[in-house]
Structure 1
């Protein structure tokens, strides 16, 4: 096969992206992959529903359609259930063989590359090219597993292979008439958290607060986020003041960049039980970005301070302020907490000789109390906003580097 024909085949993939299944470019790609799919899988994704169809060919090619438009094309190099041998990628991508490393891709594609979900990908003129290696691979021959071409930026969209995640497929409930069942969906999300197939950390709104906050009409939109332990996608259930709810999946970085309004005081939207629970719980008081958080509960003040263990590892130490530390804080203000955080860091609370070792409530909680979970809930809104800003800054730096 000549280099010109190799280029034509890759161009055929790019020209098919975004086109409906009946388009000539898509029909040509189907013919190049082998005319008839060896396997077809179909999934319903999110709310409003996106119909996902995966056409898988015995040659090792796969065409992914979302609502009848080509969303992605995947070249499988290793054996799969539908392609016992995998394909020869050299027949599709000029200069790239099945033993290619990331350095080989970089040499062949003199275009910007970026990070998404632990992978590096290339920004082409009309598509995105994502070589997928074994985990932590890409340096050795044989690491390359598949190559995906997508119409959307991988930074902002989930892997096509995750459309059929068995955990995520069971999260959305529908009524007998086929319409979206909000209460049933919330119940399934709660069950998933209890079963451990979903996780929820530092999200914008806890599931238990989603309905009451929405009913208060204090916010334009209210969103809860949970992460699937099987595929790693973040599922976002969003309620709007003036429109229907939505349910969507996003990579972590994209989920962090979603808009989030500050949550009003619980007294403005919670019932008596929720208000009472908030009064009993830890509450945020103050923080120094990247250094410490101060929270309060039942009149006690707690300082959660970051400290360094090594050049690549750090941790947090949570202490209850003693009488002297409380008096210093009242008299001299937050600077005393910054100084206390420096002392905690310099003594290394992970070491037994540190005066803060036994005071660390994360390691030695009173009566088995889960201080870490209570602290996370108290500072969730602030850590979420910080992570949003960090993600936005990283996205801006990546875009700037790609352009320049």
Structure 2
């Protein structure tokens, strides 16, 4: 699995238990409480965890393991002596009859990929290995990019922002302008992020990470497309929305042939924030040209004070996330692409790359 590779093995038992191994070490044991193709009955949880049953609620499991539940990703889990007891429910965990499986695992749910994710039928087999063809081992880059692209187009994977788009990966790598070029794609089934990385001076890698771990990876700033794109890519960039400016925590401004667009942050209370994306009217464009960033900060305050999540707000009625005008969804997607590499998390990852980069 992956490159650099580790070996994954799954052992299934008629009792309803599965044992998962990584590099010959037991990494997880899963107890299925419902029938499976290899276990028509499922386990009897009472034999494994006294005081519980296959219909156990989360509270009943908590009493059985003598620990309080935590939550990570799609799971509720318990920490026990450097191990984790992971629960999966289909339905309310507070009501009996919804428990699907109980697992003991070395990897903390939500903070590390789970051993059974190695067998994900959606993203587990997308890496294509060269296997010595033309003297090359490891990742077959062209075939892997094609496989990932097909899965993305089939909506099995979601392409991440704030990284190199998959379509640009090989062009940027061939330019030699970046030390490492990386694309991220999140699996719609297991929620892992596949990180395909091409290095200037090292073999390519393909690893699976949690979303949070993927977002913490260092990120280089992408050079202007004119320095690395072919004619078609440069032409496409000319039609794209262009980042112009932003004020941290307040607003983003982008420009397109169809107009100027402002995304303004608002607060609905101490625990809920949102953002309102509008196309600037002619008077607002003129206000920006004469008043600069200070004008946009004032406009963002007016948007916030108008309560843009309500029908009464004049700005809320212009919000492109709610508009049914033709092309609104495309404009929202283009705006997100334009500002992706200027968001806080992207800037932090770029700063991390600069700290890690060797001198010179």
TM category (shorter chain) comes to 0.7 to 0.9
User: Which residue does the alignment assign to 2:294?
Assistant: 335
TM-fit CA distance, 1:123: 2.2
Give runs of aligned pairs for residues 295-310 of structure 1, distance below 5 A. Answer: 295-298=254-257, 300-307=259-266
Match of 1:371 among 331, 334, 338: 331
Tell me, which stretches of 5 or more residues in structure 1 are unaligned?
A: 1-44, 390-404
Distance change >3 Å, CA 307–CA 66, structure 1 → 2: same
Q: Per the alignment, in what secondary structure is the counterpart of residue 111 of structure 2? A: coil
User: Which residue does the alignment assign to 1:254?
Assistant: 213
TM-fit CA distance, 1:98: 2.8
TM-fit CA distance, 1:182: 0.6
Contact 1:111–1:124 under 8 Å retained in 2: yes
Q: Are 1:265 and 2:221 matched, yes or no?
A: no
Contact 2:84–2:107 under 8 Å retained in 1: yes
CA separation in 2, counterparts of 1:92 and 1:248?
34
User: Which residue does the alignment assign to 1:210?
Assistant: 169
TM-fit CA distance, 1:264: 2.8
TM-fit CA distance, 1:225: 0.9
- TM (norm. structure 2) is 0.82
User: Which residue does the alignment assign to 2:97?
Assistant: 142
Match of 1:274 among 233, 245, 248: 233
TM-fit CA distance, 1:294: 0.7
Aligned residues: 344
**More displaced stretch, 287-296 vs 242-251:** 287-296
Contact 2:307–2:313 under 8 Å retained in 1: yes
CA separation in 1, counterparts of 2:258 and 2:55?
63
CA separation in 2, counterparts of 1:98 and 1:388?
46
CA separation in 2, counterparts of 1:283 and 1:222?
21
Q: Are 1:129 and 2:82 matched, yes or no?
A: no
TM-fit CA distance, 1:299: 9.2
TM-fit CA distance, 1:189: 1.3
TM-fit CA distance, 1:384: 7.3
RMSD: 3.1
Contact 2:107–2:113 under 8 Å retained in 1: no
Contact 1:60–1:83 under 8 Å retained in 2: yes
Deviations 1:308-337 (Å, cap 9, x if unpaired)? Answer: 689998764432323332233233332322
Tell me, which stretches of 5 or more residues in structure 2 are unaligned?
A: 350-360
